[in-house]
Amino acid sequence: MLEPQSNSALPRSRTLATTSWATTGVLAIMVLLPVARVVVRRQGGDIPGATVLVQHLTLWTGFLGLILATVTQRNLSLSTVHLLPAGNAQMAARIFSNALSAAVAALLAYGSVRMIAATWHEPSALPGGVPLWVSELVMPVALTVVAGRSIWHAPGGWMGRFTAVAAIGLGFGVGLLGEAHTAAVVWPGLVAIALGFLLGTPVYAAMGGLAMLLTFAEGSPIVAVPNTAYQLVTNATLPAIPLLTVAGYVLAAGGASQRLAALGRALLGWLPGGMGLMALAVCAMFTALTGASGVTILAVGGVVLPTLREENYPERFSLGLVTAAGSLGLLFPPSLPVLLYSIKGEVDLKHLYLAGLVPGLIVIAVVGVYTIFVGMRSQAPRHPFGWREAGRALWAAKWDLGLPLVMIGSYALSLTTLLEAAALGALYAVLVETLVFRNVHPTRDLPAVLANAATLVGSVVVLMGVALALSEYLTLQGIPTALLDWITGHIHSTWGFLLALNVMLLVLGSVLEMYSAIILLAPLIVPLGQPYGVSATHLGVVFLANLELGFLLPPLGLNLFLSATRFGKPLPLLYRAALPFLALMTIGVLIVTYFPSVTIGVLRLLGIES
């Protein structure tokens, strides 16, 4: 699980500091270049090659972010090792998962070197005549740093280091086997990767190791995996991911949560259960802006939870509300998970945003009714509405509210592309927090904030790359077609298909991080809806809404762990606190799932979808 750090000064680790400053420079160019292109285009000109350069800088951000995620131990993973008994069992699990990570990183680095060697003399070049291999070089360098870091800082001291080196040696040794012996390593390799995944090996390492193992077993060189991962740079929408992440993290570091909470109190405090509704609205809005429910719990939870307790709301209800509300804004623009699903599922982004509006409001309304009931039952005080107070709060939060207006407005009016709108939003957030509110110092705080954003970007982008390689292998083997044939042969109704999808996504959403789930499952799920007449847009909303529920499903729902860590509460208490909200949100999601007009009705009204 990834957790945002505060906007403090950079840690003293030389590797971390150097990578953080390099990432800051790369992200600065990524933000400024598309914005400059918008300005130049308004004057009738253009910046040739700007989009291509930003795409390659996304590759750099991803692999520099992978270094940061590794150094700070914040790679996306199941993080289930703590369920083992403390002591030797946990240490053995950490040593094993670290050794597997080191081996996969080393093999991917080797494959990346082979990829560069194969294209060394090709005439293709980046804008300005820079050879293409210069951009590609970040892959083997970053992966080598990750492998080296995994060795030197292995858990268990020299025993862990020896195990990591042995795992790397074993991985390269397998490559020396002839074709006649490759089948002998497949099942042991699959078991090792599955075990490592369950014990906390980063998802990208488990997925990359699986892709290389299966590719090798088919007689293809492992260079195919990094080569396929590199193809991500051809995706014109991909750079929006780091840019939206930057905007969200800068807002979180700049205190936007406090200003939005004050606005919510001023506007809703007079209603029955008003402060609970305030918490609900602020968490949903903040999640939509940051694209991460974990950020909402950590940044907003510390603001609204004490307020709810002061207003006489029960502790269990307050904990459950903050934990659940962290995921309620994921369907609203400019939510990053919707963008990511649009890329992986090849569904129109505007259609997804429009289709998600009513479902998102339905789920919030269901939880809101319960919030009002609890507020009235607990006799929570109501605060008289005051135009002056509301005006002051609205004025204080005007810059925060301006971010979605700038991004969505410029994109909806076709003034910018999606990439340029994301860059404009990132620049807007940086200028507001550094120059207007001055809560983020440009040189003391901003590099650390960007480094925090890059850790998430690194985990997501690299995971997308190796998942693309695995998806290509599965497609060549006909796995999606076989899966589709099996499902259509055993499930004969649309409702039966949707019910199976509900159950599967609920379970997987509880053990997979949101971005991992989208990257791994979306390409497989989208084709399954066609035989049952399920719209791709409706299926996307159902997919994302069900993953929201998974965050709250005991025992492994990620938001439960984040809340337990953030508020210092035992997990059993969080389980009990979240159950009423899980039940209520399930009702909302079932309505969204089985009544397609809730999602595509808006599109039909606009004449977009028949």
Task: Please indicate whether residue 236 or residue 562 has the higher confidence score (pLDDT).
Answer: 236
pLDDT at 113 (0 to 100): 93
**pLDDT (mean) for 42-58:** 88
Is 300 within 8 Å of 278 (Cβ atoms)? no
Residue 52 lies in a domain: no
Length of the chain: 610
The C-alpha angle 409, 357, 532, rounded to 5 degrees, equals: 125
What's the confidence (pLDDT) of residue 8?
Answer: 42
Neighbour tally for 355: CB within 10 Å: 29
User: What is the pLDDT, as a whole number, of residue 81?
Assistant: 67
Spatial distance between the Cα atoms of 547 and 506, rounded to a whole number of angstroms: 6
The angle formed by the CA atoms of residues 599, 600 and 604, to the nearest 5 degrees, is 145
Residue 435 lies in a domain: no
589's CB contacts (< 8 A; 6+ apart) are: 363, 502, 542, 545, 546, 548, 549
Question: In this structure, are residues 545 and 594 in contact, taking their beta carbons and an 8 Å threshold?
Answer: no
Structure tokens at 516: 């991992």
Tokens of 522: 């979306």
> What spatial distance separates the first Cα and last Cα of the chain, rounded to whole Å?
40
Domain around 358: 255-396+478-605
Report yes or no on 226 lying in a domain: no
The distance between the two most distant Cα atoms of the chain, rounded to a whole number of Å, is 80
Q: Is 184 part of a structural domain of the chain?
A: no
| Lowest-pLDDT range of 239-243, 298-302, 322-326, 532-536 | 298-302
Q: Does residue 543 lie within any of the structural domains?
A: yes
Q: What is the pLDDT of residue 11?
A: 47
E strand segments, 51-121: none
**How distant is the alpha carbon of residue 448 from its chain centre?**
19
Half-sphere exposure of 239 (CA within 13 A, CB side): 32
Tell me if 271 is assigned to some domain.
Answer: yes
Lowest mean pLDDT among 7-21, 148-162, 395-409, 562-576: 7-21
Domain annotation covers residue 451: no
Could you tell me the pLDDT band of residue 511, with boundaries at 50, 70 and 90? low
Distance CA 452, CA 3 (A): 9
Q: 329 by DSSP, 3-state: which?
A: coil
Q: Tens digits of per-residue pLDDT, 165-175?
A: 999 999 888 87
Q: Which helix (H) or strand (E) segment is 274 a member of?
A: helix 274-290
Banded model confidence at residue 137, pLDDT cuts 50, 70, 90: very high
- How does residue 191 score in pLDDT terms, banded at 50, 70 and 90? very high
Instruction: Calculate the CA 207 to chain-centre distance.
Output: 16
d(CA 100, CA 207): 12
- Is residue 553 a part of any domain in this protein? yes
- pLDDT of 95: 93
Task: Give Cα 1 to chain centroid, integer Å.
Answer: 10
Beta bridge partners of 414: none
The band of 562, judged by pLDDT with boundaries at 50, 70 and 90, is: low
- Tokens representing 251 are 């807002």
- What is the domain count for the chain? 1
Q: What per-residue confidence (pLDDT) applies to 399?
A: 92
CA distances from 330 to 407, 560, 571 (A): 17, 17, 24
Question: Is residue 199 within 8 Å of 93, Cβ to Cβ?
Answer: yes
| pLDDT score for 556 | 64
Residue 483, both tokens: 């899966």
The full 3-state SS of 12-44, as one line of letters, equals CCHHHHHHHHHHHHHHHHHHHHHHHHHHHHHCC
Q: CA-CA distances (angstroms) from residue 251 to 20, 58, 91, 265, 428?
A: 19, 21, 38, 19, 10
Distance, in Å, from the CA atom of 293 to the CA atom of 561, rounded to the nearest integer, reads 12
Q: In the numeric block, which tokens belong to residue 392? A: 């002051």
Distance CA 471, CA 482 (A): 14
